[in-house]
Chain A
Amino acid sequence: MIENVKDPSLEAHNLTVFYQKRPAIWNLDFTLPKGKIIGIMGPNGSGKSTLLKSIMGILKPNDGWVKVFQRKIDDVRFKVSYVPQRQSIDWDFPTNVFEVAKMGRISSKGLFKRFTKTDLEIVKESLHRVNMYDMRNRQISELSGGQQQRTFLARALSQEADLFIMDEPFAGVDAASEKAIIGLLNELKSKGKTLLVVHHDLHSAKNYFDWLVLLNTRLVGSGPLEKLYTDELLSETYGGTLTSLSKIATKIEKQGLPIRHK
């Protein structure tokens, strides 16, 4: 079940990325709409984070390509905000909440330009929106999981992007933060922004997303929530019916696979 859209926010064609010789995502073809909250779902190791990283160009595709707003990612980076997994960084790093949020402004400043008053205003406003302004001087090592995630979101908001790509923003956050985050996502959506969110809780997915991308190394489905959230598709994604696929992947890891295009 793959539904395509016209004027997509994001388009993947034949996207294949190997992780240490093993296919992590494999021949993904899909288009995503604009102005929606899109959930990327799949079991552990199904390639969700890999997909996000290859959209951002952090991982280079072994085959195929991705286009964002119908352009190469390098041409539209200023329109895209990437929120990595919270656990991917060391929260003992000597810095405070405000400094982290300020990093969001660098995307428009580059390495050398000075921050202006407007920049600092934007950062301040972003911190207010995630309710972290009162904690702006706090060391990031002293934050709870939810506060860490909200700090990351403040940094993303400061980028003033049109597309937000978030890796597990709900993982390990408290209920209040989860509520605040989903509120923020909806607010961004109402302003016409597109949100691409990796998520793994099936139960809450129903209430959060407009569109689903179901992933299990291969693409299981991409389309509006109502059409995708079916027992059949979900069990295909999560149910382990694709065991022969993983056996083939293991063989490829050992023997290699001739890639067609590159």
Chain B
Amino acid sequence: MEKITEFFSFSDTTILTVTLGSILLGILGSVVGVFTYLRKRVLIGDVIAHSVLPGLVLGFLVLNEKSFIVLLIGALISGGLSSFLVDYITHHSKLKTDAALALVLGVFFGFGTFLLTKLQGHSGASQAGIDAYLFGQAAAIDLFDVQVIGVCCVLLLLTLLIFFRGFNILSFDEQFAYSIGMPTQWLKFVLTSMTIITVALGVQLVGVVLMSALLITPTSAARFWTSKVKIMLLLAALFGAFGGLSGALISYLNYRMPTGPWIVIVLSFLAFLSFVFAPKKGVLFRLFSNVFFKIKIQKENILKDLFLLENETIEIEELQEHQPSQSVFNRWVQRILVYEKKIKKMENRRFTLTALGRAQGSKIFERHKLWEKYIGKYMHLMRDHVHTDAEGIEHIIDEEIERDLKSSI
């Protein structure tokens, strides 16, 4: 607890720089990731991330010291080259996109690892922490780095804001965007450049291996909660910032805990929560909507049967044959209906409809008849099949369909 207050007082500049850097990169990665995701270019992000490695190491070899700017330039060049090569290979050879992606990733990352191994023979390489680029080393971020990250962050976010309309329509329908005279090639170039810059900035924090997680995880999480691109951007940024902050905090609280991987773990956890709990798209919601539908069917069946009983169009025996009314599920549903004041229990342990229940029961019976009439008229179904069909469909028909059916009969 004491340590937490200490952390948030930011008295130590190292804490401040690491935290600020993590948050900024978290935001940047997720926001840029949204359009990577929408354009279905998720894998190219991963390829670029792995491909900046040779650029980083060569940058170090040229200057023989670890200057953030030089490493950044090295990363930009090799990242850019890799993305260009993927495009070139897909357009000018028999190879499809997936093969081109795998090929470029393999070649660049392999070359990078080779250079790294060579470098480790050199003196001073490990002190400089160049090998930390594989998995990131947040602690190495200093004040100058954060300033660079901050400036880039502002510039990239501004670009995104200004060109939002273009990026959005490009991601949705590129051919249409071109047909109305949008500079699609140029927009694509800007988007790819943004990805490369983000990756180059981010590898110091999370490393080349985990970088694509920073791009994709917050976005995927955000997609579960919304169906609007703007809100997706906001949510993803929020998740990214939270991930960055948590990663920095966790690594501060626990000795020798790496920041980058923890950011990714927190983000993955957020994505997992979204996957399970998000309304409509979440697993839990879908599961429950299934159960709710079953309950609805059972409720409607009870109401309808009681309605038919009242009108003596059905025998009690027949009813019991249809529904084993003593099942636990059925008794449970009956209780819900009593609670909703749609049925009430009589002295002879039988149920009777309330006015509300009667109205509903009659409605369902009406829909049943409506459907029977409809398929009788249009579908040439055998007479004795019509009823069973309607038994199911009566639960699906809503107001809108009911109106349609009525008008077509």
Contacts and interface: CB of A to CB of B under 8 A. Distances in A.
A107 B181 contact: yes
Contacts of B254: none
Nearest to B94: A20
B227 A82 contact: no
B178 A89 contact: no
A188 interface: no
A80 B179 contact: yes
A84 B181 contact: no
B100 to A, nearest CB: 15
A235 interface: no
B232 interface: yes
A77 B182 CA distance: 10
B10 interface: no
The size class of the interface chain A forms with chain B is: 20 to 34
Interface of B is mostly: helix
Interface stretch (A90-98, A116-124, A244-252): A90-98
B223 interface: yes
A139 B181 CA distance: 26
A3 B228 CA distance: 49
Contacts of B223: 94
A58 B40 CA distance: 20
Interface of A is mostly: mixed
B169 interface: yes
A84 B166 contact: no
A76 B182 CA distance: 13
Contacts of A77: 179-181
A90 B232 contact: no
A232 interface: no
Nearest to A74: B181
Contacts of A111: 163, 165-166, 182
Interface string B32-69: 00000010100000000000000000000000000000
Nearest to A159: B180
Contacts of B166: 111
A207 interface: no
Interface string B238-258: 000000000000000000000
A204 interface: no
Contacts of B172: 89, 93, 95, 100, 103
A106 interface: yes
Nearest to B165: A111
Interface string A67-78: 000000010011
A131 to B, nearest CB: 14
B173 A84 contact: yes
Most interface-central of A77, A88, A103, A141 (chain B CB within 10 A): A103
B403 to A, nearest CB: 12
Interface string B168-196: 01011101101111100000000000000
Nearest to B280: A139
Contacts of A141: 227
Interface in A33-61: 53, 56-58
A173 B173 CA distance: 20
Contact of B175 (A58, A93, A106): A58
A149 to B, nearest CB: 14
13 contacts: A57-B178, A81-B179, A82-B175, A84-B176, A88-B173, A93-B172, A94-B223, A100-B172, A103-B169, A107-B180, A107-B181, A111-B163, A155-B176
Given A56-B175, A88-B175, A111-B166, 13 more contacts: A58-B178, A78-B181, A82-B179, A84-B173, A89-B172, A93-B171, A93-B172, A94-B38, A94-B223, A94-B229, A103-B173, A106-B182, A111-B163
